[in-house]
A and B are shown apart, each in its own frame.
Chain A
Amino acid sequence: MDKDEALGKLIDLALRRGVEEAEAFYSEAEETPVLFEANRLKQVTARQVAGVALRVVADGRLGAAASSHPQGLDELVEMALESARYGPQAHLQFPPPQGYPDVPTYDPAVPSTTLEEMVRLGEGLIAAVRAEEEGLVCEASVRRTVQEVMGLNSRGGRFRYRRTVFSVGLYGTLVRDTDMLFVGDAKTSCQPIREVMDIVEEVKRQLHWARHTARVRTGELPVVFTPLGVASALMGPLTLAFSGRLVHQGQSPLAHLLGHKAYDPRLTIWDDPTLPYRPASRICDDEGIPSRRLPLVEGGTVCHFLYDLQTAGMAGAQPTGHGYRTPAGQTSISPSCLVVEPGEGSLEEIIASLDEGLVVDQLMGAGQGNVMAGDFSGNVLLGYKIERGEVVGRVKDTVVAGNVHQLLKERVLAIGGRPRWVGGGLLVPPIAFTALSVAAKS
């Protein structure tokens, strides 16, 4: 059976059982990673994943079920009906047919990239990085993915789009007795990546700055987060606070701050799923709400939160197109492409302005602790000491802690001018703070 037809049949089966509304969602992906271990090609993989999810509204209650079994339509309807018996009150209507923006996310050059080309790219990357540091033991991956997403609901709403993703990453380990250094970078796009010199340059910078070891004192210090550092430490707790669900439940520290200046006036953030060829871009979310650019913070003022259908209905807000389907079929709220507006000055210029401080590329364990409140803290996995405007070496056994909301309100030293993509969905410049709590082994 054709997929379109199968989804239609699923909706019919559910409607015939007397449900008020039904929605079927199908996604399939074929991922082909080429994996390198210990500087050598190790494994080629093809991962095919497909699954169907069904949501129904029956007697005013929402039920959901998901299956990856290719012959399970009847079972799926049964499971969704059972779920609806106990399910939450439905506060949504599935969207009717509507137009979607044109968002390019598919490039046929991705599936036609050969394994040989992918291997050459990975080998070239490893060789270029090891030319800088011969002792580096590298893991690398080059992957291409082709996805297809479809949705259909009982109000006639339907969407279908394809996406390609190509990504390249390198992680190197340098071991000197019990001293271990981890460096790396990755990039990803909906189009094939042919050029990896930026990854090589980034890894070289990390190696160069980590060449010597430096000591840091316990206390409060200025801290500069590189774009990688912003991604690893700050974005998780920050974006959580914009979840419409947490706002509605009063759990977000921003719950009562819509329209208020909650941050430094230099801070502007938006979410934009319409950016061409970004892996997090899409014509619509997984519930069929059209994509649009949504400002979250403008000049320090909180201006929107992220909603899916059900949460928007509960909160009396408009859905913003941020319903995201997990592989197990649940709907959750998630940003797409987040963009932090750049300010001025390069990373090096910010560093040059500091007499003493820390640079953070990667915090380990930053997602633990009281994330809901915006707290983060972590062991500096990759970070450096600044003395008299210069990086003097790598710091270790050092913990940095803070509250992202408080820092972005009261302690912004600089938002830098050279943003870069981190992962598939974050475009961010370096961000520096006047003082953070730093604990170090004395």
Chain B
Amino acid sequence: MDQDTLRQLMEEALRGWDVDYIEVRIDDTAATRIAYRGRDLEEIGRAHSFGGCVRALYRGGWGFVSFNDPSQLRRWTEMAVAQAHFVGHERSLLAEVEPVVDTVPPHLVKDPRPIPLAAKKELLDEYLDIIWSTPGIASSSIFYSDSHKRVMFANSQGSFIQQERIDVTVRIAATARRDGDLQQASISLGSLGDFSVVEGLHQEVRRLAQKAVELLDAPYVKPGVYPVVLDPVLAGVFCHEAFGHLSEADHIYENEHLREVMVLGRPFGRPILNIVDGAALPGLRGSFKYDDEGVPAQKTYLIREGVLVGRLHSRETAAKMGERPTGNARAIDYRFPPIVRMTNTYIEPGEATLEDLLADIKEGIYACNWYGGTTSMEMFTFSAGEAYMIRQGRIAEPLRPVKLSGNVFETLMNIDAIAKDLAFNQGGGCGKGGQMPLPVSNGSPHIRITRCVVSER
């Protein structure tokens, strides 16, 4: 089915329903994946995913139907409308947004699509050889993927938007083994439309493999509370996990206690702290022109000079809280309705240098790189891929990877120094409500936290 036919089908399907709002979204995604586990090539090839969904709103109740076969779109629409009627007994609230008709081409730096599968495989083979030429390596894994996604969106308010995006990600991990002891080091990289992030990683891969072997000799951290300096990658994850999720308005808008906690104007950090989210920053993995409700991308200050000044909204949460929509309603694919998500989330740079941050720490932890992280809004936990003791103001011996945990309200207050070296981590994917991994980026300069619970493993 060609695009004009689809557009016609979508616009026809939206007409003539007794609802407050209705939208149709259709995605078409072609992906290439190459995966190695150990020396074995486990998977190479392409996959094609195609499908769509209808979402209808009637008196505050939502209906949602997802499908693979668009030729019965009118039937799917009817189902979604019937569901919305079944649920809705109150009043629909959606923030006003100007209808948009637009076509957005993909952001491209180096297009992965024309590069032959054989060439992609050859490059990864080189990295695999480097890992396995390192003495002490027992295993490795490499996952590469690129995807080209085209999303068509139409709603009953007259918007019709077609957007394309190309994502490239690679994760490379090496595992060293001695007796029963296994240690792993890894990197995760990603880009919006730029294959070159995957190229020229030979030195980095060599260092990674050596790092895994070195970790076998590193001690565990003594668990406890330490002053901690985070590198930009880990600080970015911290910002995403510890604060970003908390500022998603869908957690807040119908919970009056949380509304009190998250009241705008509340101090969250010291005046040096500024946290921003925005898809309007160009060329990052969380960047786009319109979100999945057709709201233009923006740049939203969440914390400014230590004070809570904003949060992330869908059209519904914005209307219900009497705030402006921020363009943060995103769906991972056609199987899901859009929910409030982050885009590019970062801590703005300060004035200090890394040396300044280390200088007055007698005994602390320097934690770098990313393994993962998760949050329950109040409490968070995230893992460093690399860690070192800080002794007398200097980075000292390496430790095995550590885990940092805390309470967001205290920990943000405990950020007492921010460097000027802002950098973005684009290798991660965010999960929420069963929708994972959604492309996002996190950014930060080096930051210092005066007290943080540090544990082994």
- Chain A interface residues toward B at CB < 8 A: 37-38, 41-51, 63-70, 72, 75-76, 79-80, 82-83, 86-88, 115, 135, 137, 173, 175-180, 182, 218, 245, 249-251, 253, 314, 328-330, 364-365, 367-370, 372-373, 375-379, 381, 396-399, 401-403, 437-442
Contact = CB atoms under 8 A, between A and B. Distances in A.
Contact of A48 (B33, B68, B382): B68
6 contacts: A38-B254, A45-B64, A79-B45, A83-B43, A249-B139, A253-B180
A130 to B, nearest CB: 14
Contacts, number: 246
B338 to A, nearest CB: 12
B247 interface: no
Nearest to A254: B180
B19 interface: no
A397 B405 contact: yes
A82 B43 CA distance: 12
A399 B453 contact: yes
Interface string B402-444: 0101110100000000000000000000000000000000000
Contacts of B377: 180
Interface residues of B, number: 79
Contacts of B264: none
B41 interface: yes
Contacts of B181: 373
B115 interface: no
Nearest to B80: A46
B379 interface: yes
Contact of B50 (A68, A250, A402): A68
Interface of B: 31, 33, 37-38, 40-51, 61-69, 79-80, 83-84, 86-87, 117-118, 121, 138-139, 175, 177, 180-184, 223-225, 254-255, 257-258, 260-261, 335, 337, 371-383, 401, 403, 405-407, 409, 451, 453-457
Contact of A368 (B139, B224, B371, B454): B371
Contacts of B61: 41-44
A397 to B, nearest CB: 6
A442 B225 contact: yes
Nearest to A177: B261
The listed residue with most B CB atoms (<10 A of its CB), out of A115, A177, A249, is: A249
A87 B45 contact: yes
A379 B45 contact: no
Contacts of A64: 43, 45
A80 B45 CA distance: 7
A46 B65 contact: yes
Given A64-B45, A86-B118, A437-B455, A372 B382 contact: no
Contacts of A75: 48
Given A137-B255, A218-B224, A79 B48 contact: yes
A330 B407 CA distance: 39
A49 B67 CA distance: 6
List of 10 A-B pairs having minimum Cβ-Cβ separation, nearest first: A83-B45, A38-B254, A175-B257, A439-B223, A365-B381, A368-B372, A44-B83, A43-B62, A379-B381, A180-B378
Contact of A86 (B50, B117, B374): B117
A115 to B, nearest CB: 6
A158 B43 CA distance: 24
A369 B457 contact: yes
